[in-house]
Amino acid sequence: MQLFLGIDGGGTGCRAAVADAAGVVRGRAEAGPANIASDPQGAADNILRAATAALDAAGGGQVVAAGLGLAGANAAGAADRLRGALPYRRVAVVTDAITAVKGALGTGDGIVAALGTGSVFAAQRGGTIRQIGGRGLVLGDEASGAWIGRAILSAALRATDGYAPMTPLLSALLAEAGGADGVVALSLRARPVDLAAFAPRVVQSDDPAALSVMEQARKDVIAAVSLLAGNDDLPVVFLGGLGPVFAAGMADRFRIQTAQGTALDGALMLAREAA
């Protein structure tokens, strides 16, 4: 059986699906993180693990084309290195923002705000996609889970130094880490997914430091969506684990729309285009 392979990979996990020529999904699978910029080898291993498991779930078959939407694909050379590690003849590798747009909007115009471990924003007009952000935690990923985690730990250190008041949440984080030096040590070994683990605690807290971090995150999301919209009244789709968190407070500002499909659906669309 001839099959199309779709991969949706980010900082938290990797999802794979294989579909037949009629578009019917025959198998699905998941594996670990797949950011091809921050961990090229680990990402490649997880992509192949998920793809193999999805093919096994489908009962086997031949992959005629693969479409991959991956975090880190906009880092120079990352996509080319990955293509060399994949056993498929026709392969399209794009950022996860592109496949998120394809899945969420189909062929329609609109904006996608994808907020998970990382963050990325994109607009589609007349089939042309413009992406902003998505450049990783060192240089961006504003309002993402990793950004929120880093921001609250930074706030804890600033409070230790006296730049800002110490709050109950910051005090608790410092105690759990073993003090300011423990926070620094954590930062040196933490991956984006590790920092993102702090985000739920911040999102759910009414601590002044948490509210300050979330207010800045909200401002960053508004700025990105507004930049992409320009003067157009485009619908906005919020995706990712943090998508509903930001969408809940922005219904009065943007025309929010439910996604037509997932980033994995977009990856399967990309695979068909690659064929």
Note the pLDDT tens digit of each residue in 117-141: 889 899 999 989 999 988 888 888 9
- 92 and 180 inside one domain: no
- 82 and 210 inside one domain: no
- 112 and 62 inside one domain: no
In the predicted structure, residue 275 carries a pLDDT above the cut 80: no
The pLDDT of residue 217 is: 97
The pLDDT of residue 140 is: 87
pTM for the whole thing? 0.81
The pLDDT of residue 28 is: 94
What region does 93 belong to: left with phi over 0, alpha with psi -120 to 50, or beta?
beta
Residue 114: helix, strand or coil by DSSP?
strand
CATH code: domain of residue 133: 3.30.420.40
Q: What is the mean pLDDT of the chain?
A: 91
DSSP letter for 63, please: E
- 95 and 133 inside one domain: no
- 95 and 165 inside one domain: no
The pLDDT of residue 65 is: 93
The pLDDT of residue 40 is: 83
Residue 233: other Cβ atoms inside 10 A: 7
- 182 and 160 inside one domain: yes
Note the pLDDT tens digit of each residue in 219-239: 999 999 999 999 999 999 999
Q: How far apart are the first and last CA of the chain?
A: 15
In the predicted structure, residue 186 carries a pLDDT above the cut 80: yes
- 183 and 220 inside one domain: yes
Residue 152: band (very low, low, confident or very high) from pLDDT cuts 50, 70, 90: very high
**Cα Rg of the chain (Å, integer):** 20
Note the pLDDT tens digit of each residue in 19-68: 998 888 999 999 998 888 878 888 889 999 999 999 999 988 889 999 99
CB 19 within 8 A of CB 26: yes
**Which amino acid appears at position 261 of this protein?**
G
In the predicted structure, residue 256 carries a pLDDT above the cut 90: yes
Residue 210: band (very low, low, confident or very high) from pLDDT cuts 50, 70, 90: very high
CB 152 within 8 A of CB 213: yes
Give the whole-angstrom CA distance, residue 210 versus residue 197. 14
- 182 and 268 inside one domain: no
Give the whole-angstrom CA distance, residue 73 versus residue 79. 5
Give the whole-angstrom CA distance, residue 26 versus residue 86. 21
Give the whole-angstrom CA distance, residue 204 versus residue 207. 9
The pLDDT of residue 135 is: 83
Give the whole-angstrom CA distance, residue 78 versus residue 40. 7
- 40 and 19 inside one domain: yes
Domain range holding 25? 2-106+260-274
The pLDDT of residue 160 is: 97
Residue 101: helix, strand or coil by DSSP?
helix
In the numeric block, the tokens 């059986």 are attached to 1
Domains held by the chain: number: 2
Burial of 109 (0-12, 13-18, 19+ CB in 10 A): middle
Segment 91-110 shows an average pLDDT of 90
In the predicted structure, residue 12 carries a pLDDT above the cut 80: no
CB 198 within 8 A of CB 155: no
Regarding predicted confidence, which is higher, 12 or 22?
Answer: 22
- 52 and 181 inside one domain: no
All residues at 6 or more sequence positions from 130 whose CB lies less than 8 Å from its CB, including other chains: 122, 123, 124, 228
Give the whole-angstrom CA distance, residue 110 versus residue 49. 33
The pLDDT of residue 62 is: 87
Segment 193-212 shows an average pLDDT of 96
C-alpha distances out from residue 160 to 41, 62, 148, 157, Å: 38, 58, 19, 5
- 124 and 249 inside one domain: yes
Strand partners, 5: 18, 66
The pLDDT of residue 196 is: 94
Residue 240: band (very low, low, confident or very high) from pLDDT cuts 50, 70, 90: confident
- 238 and 118 inside one domain: yes
Give the whole-angstrom CA distance, residue 205 versus residue 79. 39
